[in-house]
Structure 1
Amino acid sequence: MSIFSRFQDIINANINSLLDRAEDPEKMIRLMIQEMEETLIEVRSTSAKVLADKKTLERRMAALEKEADTWEEKAALALLKDREDLARAALAEQSAANETLEIAKEELLALDSHVLDLNSEVAQLQQKLNDAKAKQKSMLAREQTARSKLEIRRRFNRDKLNEAFEKFERYERKMDDMEAEVESYDIGSKDLADEIQDLARDEKVDQALEQLKARMSQKAK
């Protein structure tokens, strides 16, 4: 199992555990990011170690190549000196060095593959970490909005809303009664302007009455 796969298992386990315990979402997100950062450090540390092993192996391979060449030179020198026995022994050492070199080449290929896998995991993990950090504020804001809406709905469910409307209607009715009571005191009462207008109207009636009496008196004569 790769480190990245193990990391995903850790994150999933933590998420499930936090959800089961109804932990604070902010704490959950912070823990996820912390897990990502710690795993990223671990993967990079492993990658650095593999790269160091690769350099060590490359130096070893260079030494084996040089050793094989040296044994070949010694075998050639032995033949020049008519020492075929020494030449054979030198070539045997060269063969052993070459065999070790081939094994080292296979190890190098495996290390190269491992480095590529680690680089891919680092890139994926870094991208996920960047995405998580970018979405952290948005996720917390969404959680807060959802929590607020839920709290409002819990506080003001349908029954409570109906109760609130009924209270409002009772207060409205009470205001109507108060206003009606005020208006009842005004019934049959007149203000100063109305009384003055009535006096003016009475005076006109009186004048008309006197004029009518005068005309009738003249006709009687």
Structure 2
Amino acid sequence: MTKQSIFGRITTLVRANINSILDSAEDPQKMIDQLIRDYTNNIADAESAIAETIGNLRLLEQDYREDVKTAEEWGRKAIAASGKADELRTAGNTVDADKFDNLAKVALQRQISAENEAKTAEPTIAAQQEVTAKLKDGLNGMKEKLKQLHSKRAELVARAKTAEAQNRVADAVKSIDVLDPTSDLGRFEEKIRRQEALARGKQEIAASTLDAQFNELENFEAVTEVEARLAALKSGRTAQAIEQ
């Protein structure tokens, strides 16, 4: 029953579609770690069961070889006893001849018994050999699946690290986006623009003040010239009056 259960588990695990299992998993990495543990544990169980099966098979094969060897030995003894009986009968000693013929018959009976035991064991040995071969194939299939799982896990870990790195780069690029008004760089640029605008405003104010000063100077000069001309007019009229 235990061997049948293990054989069923081996068959199920070997036929399992790893990619399909991982595709349907919410967390593929956790799922693959669990699969690795399951395969590792079942491989250990399978190895133990196969070792026991092989041990039993070797005992059956050893018993079979011993039965064949025993049958051959009894066959040789039967031949020897029958030959001795023929010699004694030829010599006229029928009593001893009959005795050795009886021994030959006993040897033949033992030979037949050993051959029957060997024949009875043959189907059992064949069945055990078939089971052992299937278990070995299944075990090799499980080990191959385990290699695939380890390879798949390494691939998933590498992909996860790559995705993490890509996300970090994307976040870093986003954080320095000069078009983003909420970014530090955007705020710093806005501050510079305001300072530049303030400087331009001060320059315009300074320029307008200077122009006003020049205008005042021009107006002052104009007033002074008027006053001078008025004074000249008055001075001229006074001179004419004195002459008259």
TM-score by length of 1: 0.59
Distance 1:119 1:8 in 2: 12
Distance 1:25 1:76 in 2: 74
Tell me which residue corresponds to 2:51: 48
Matched, 1:131 2:148: yes
Matched, 1:179 2:179: no
Q: Deviations over 1:149-199 (max 9, x none)?
A: 79999x9xxxxxxxx95757x957776455323311111426xxxxxxxxx
2:37 partner letter: Q
Distance 1:6 1:39 in 2: 11
Tell me which residue corresponds to 1:96: 113
Please state how far the C-alpha of 1:33 moved relative to its aligned partner.
Answer: 1.0
Question: Would the aligned equivalents of 2:11 and 2:138 in 1 still touch at CA under 8 Å?
Answer: no
Question: Would the aligned equivalents of 2:36 and 2:149 in 1 still touch at CA under 8 Å?
Answer: yes
Tell me which residue corresponds to 1:216: none
Please state how far the C-alpha of 1:64 moved relative to its aligned partner.
Answer: 0.7
Distance 1:49 1:26 in 2: 35
Distance 2:119 2:13 in 1: 35
Q: Point out the more displaced range, 54-63 or 109-118.
A: 109-118
Tell me which residue corresponds to 1:4: 10
Matched, 1:69 2:75: no
Q: Deviations over 1:117-164 (max 9, x none)?
A: 2222222222222232233222123245557879999x9xxxxxxxx9
Tell me which residue corresponds to 1:110: 127
Q: Using a 3 Å threshold, how does the CA distance of structure 1 residues 188 and 152 change in structure 2: closer, same or farther? A: closer
Tell me which residue corresponds to 1:58: 61
Question: Would the aligned equivalents of 1:11 and 1:32 in 2 still touch at CA under 8 Å?
Answer: no
Question: For 2:206, what is the secondary structure of its paired residue?
Answer: coil
Question: Would the aligned equivalents of 2:13 and 2:142 in 1 still touch at CA under 8 Å?
Answer: no
Distance 2:60 2:14 in 1: 32
Q: How many pairs are equivalent?
A: 176
Question: Would the aligned equivalents of 1:25 and 1:140 in 2 still touch at CA under 8 Å?
Answer: no
RMSD: 4.0
Percent identity reads 22
Question: For 1:187, what is the secondary structure of its paired residue?
Answer: helix
Matched, 1:32 2:35: yes
In structure 2, runs of 5+ residues without a counterpart are 1-6, 86-96, 172-178, 208-244
TM-score by length of 2: 0.55
Q: Which has the larger radius of gyration?
A: 2
Distance 1:177 1:64 in 2: 108
Distance 1:103 1:151 in 2: 73
Question: Would the aligned equivalents of 1:25 and 1:143 in 2 still touch at CA under 8 Å?
Answer: no
Question: Would the aligned equivalents of 1:67 and 1:94 in 2 still touch at CA under 8 Å?
Answer: yes
Q: Mapping of 1:207-218 within 5 angstroms?
A: none
1:95 partner letter: I
Please state how far the C-alpha of 1:115 moved relative to its aligned partner.
Answer: 2.8
2:54 partner letter: L
Q: Using a 3 Å threshold, how does the CA distance of structure 1 residues 11 and 33 change in structure 2: closer, same or farther? A: farther
Matched, 1:82 2:120: no
Please state how far the C-alpha of 1:53 moved relative to its aligned partner.
Answer: 1.4
Tell me which residue corresponds to 1:121: 138
